[in-house]
Each structure stands twice: as structure tokens, then as C-alpha cells.
Amino acid sequence: MQLSPSVTIARCESGLEYLQVNSPLCQARIFLQGAQLTEYTPANQKPLIWVSSEEDYQEGKSIRGGIPICWPWFGVHQNPEWPIHGVARVSLWRAEEVKEEQDAIRISLSLPMAQVDKTYWPHNTKLEVEYVLSDKQLEVRLTNTNLGDSPVQLTQALHSYLPTPDITQTSVDGLQGAQYIEFGEGPFEQQEVVHFGRETDMVYSDAKPLQRIRTPDGTIEVARENSRSCVLWNPWVDKSQRLSNFADDEYHKMLCLEAANVLDDKVELAAQQSHTLATIIRWG
């Protein structure tokens, strides 16, 4: 089905539907399950998003790669039987609007709250995501609106998987001075540029709004709005062998740098208030 000159709805072998963008500006793919972007390649440049070669795109199962939307909590809930990273990334979203402009394509999706188990989220809210795709950058804007009369709290993240040809020759600049917790320990202060030689699972607070990932293929810039926290992750050798839909050696080709609202940066929405978490990803 054609939604606009450059955007169609298609279906993968497993049956999941996605929006395919074939434009002079970029190539992109957004699955309706999870509203999850799994491809973004700006014109005449290398891909900016990584997905595991082992991914099989099954209904009700989070996609290993792309940008999963972690909502309304990030990580393990205080009730450990609840799904990790919330419910948004495995829920079926609704495509709301596709708008083609001269310099960008805007795609908006919403999560129908009737699909969300009230055990997990009893609040009267609205959740929308907008993707702004151009030949220069990818912008993701996740907006929560409190439609109720009582305050609401949540944590969330845009769990961006990014590519590198060699993690051992990759570094992340711009986190210096931020505090981080890793494996439940800390906080510690990040004093230097981050290099990778082991499993990395750092949750940063009061981080600067822009980081630069230096890879052998070039520099990836990751910026954030309305976010003082971010997450840096690479599973390394041992954890790679335990992950589903992840080849044992794929840790070598990826990392996650995630715009977030976690820890003291959690979202607190007063009645009728909105909050938009944004990340902007581009080649530097």
C-alpha cells in the first residue's frame, strides 16, 4: 500500500508489517510493532542503524537492533516478573501521518492505550513518536501527554543500536564529567573518552547533550533533547552468547548509545502536561 510518493506499507516473511521509505533523501524502515525503526541510511552515506543478522522479526518479541522504545519503564521493573524495558516495544502501534516535505519525511505513530495492560499502566496518557528523516540526520521524538487529573511518573529510553566495523577501535567522546552507575555500582565520574575492552553497561546522569562516537567508518554524532541521562551498552563476549537473536561475535560490530529519562531524570508529568524525549543521530 502506497502512503506517499516515497513511503509504502509492506510485510516481512514472518508477517510483521512495516513502513518502507525509499526516497532520494534516505532509505528507512519502521515496523508497526514497537514503532521500531530498523533502518536509516542517508543518501550517499553508510547506514546509521544496526540490526542483528540473527533477527527473525517475530510477533510479540522485541527486535534485536534498530531503536526499541523502552516505555513506561527502562530496564528491570521493581516487580521482576514484569517485562524488561516495558511494553511499548512489543505492542502494535498505529501509523497516524506521513508527510513528505522538500528536505524531510515525517512519520508519526501512536500507541493505542487500549492495547496496554492496565496492570502495567493504569494511567490516562497518550504516547506518540515522530520520525524526521532527511539526507543529513535522523530525529526521533517520543511524546508523553498526561490526559488525567493526577501526576504521572515514568522512565524511558530510545535504545539506539549503532554500527561500527570494529568496537575495539571505537571510542565515545562527550561523556567526560558525567556521573555513571555500572552493574549496580557507583556513581563514578567519567574522566576520559570511553574505549571498549569489556562488557559495558553504563547509565549516565547529567550528561552533555551531544556525544561523538568515533569509528573506523567515521564519526557518529548522537544528540539529545529533554534528557539529562543516557545509556552506553555493549554486551562483549560472554553476554553475547546468552542473548537471543544475537550472533556470538556481533558485539564486535555494534554499540548502543541511548537517549533516556532514567534515575533522577525520570519524567514527572503534571495533569495535562506533555514531555518530548528526542534523539538526533547523524554522521559528523
Give the whole-angstrom CA distance, residue 9 versus residue 32. 10
Other beta carbons less than 10 A from residue 154's beta carbon: 21
Give the model confidence (pLDDT) of 123-160 as tens digits: 999 999 999 999 999 999 999 999 999 999 999 999 99
Given a cut of 90, whether residue 253 has pLDDT beyond it is yes
Domain span at residue 204?
2-283
Whether residue 138 contacts residue 23, with contact meaning beta carbons closer than 8 Å, is answered with no
Q: Per-residue pLDDT for 14 more than 90? A: yes
How far is residue 59's CA from residue 61's CA, in Å, rounded to a whole number? Answer: 6
- Let me know if 85 is a catalytic residue: no
Confidence of residue 59 (pLDDT cuts 50, 70, 90): very high
Mean of pLDDT values over 268-280:
98
DSSP 213-253: EEETTEEEEEEEES-SEEEEEE-HHHHHTTSTT--TTGGGG
CA within 13 Å, CB half, 271: 3
Mean pLDDT of all residues in 106-116:
96
Q: Report the pLDDT averaged over residues 221-248.
A: 96
Check 85, 123, 159, 252 and give the catalytic one: 159
The residue among 127, 126, 128, 124 whose CA lies nearest residue 149 is 124
* pLDDT band with cut points at 50, 70 and 90 for residue 1: confident
pLDDT in tens, 190-228: 999 999 999 999 999 999 999 999 999 999 999 999 999
What radius of gyration do the chain's Cα atoms show? 18
Residue-averaged pLDDT of the chain:
97
- Structural contact between residues 145 and 125, judged by C-beta atoms closer than 8 angstroms: yes
Taking residues 86-114, what's their average pLDDT?
97
What is the pLDDT confidence band of residue 88, given thresholds at 50, 70 and 90?
very high
The verdict on whether 195 is a catalytic residue reads no
User: Do residues 260 and 251 lie in contact, with contact meaning Cβ atoms separated by under 8 Å?
Assistant: no
Residues in the chain, overall count: 284
The number of folded domains in the chain is 1
| Lowest mean pLDDT across 37-41, 78-82, 135-139 | 78-82
The enclosing domain of 185 has a CATH number of: 2.70.98.10
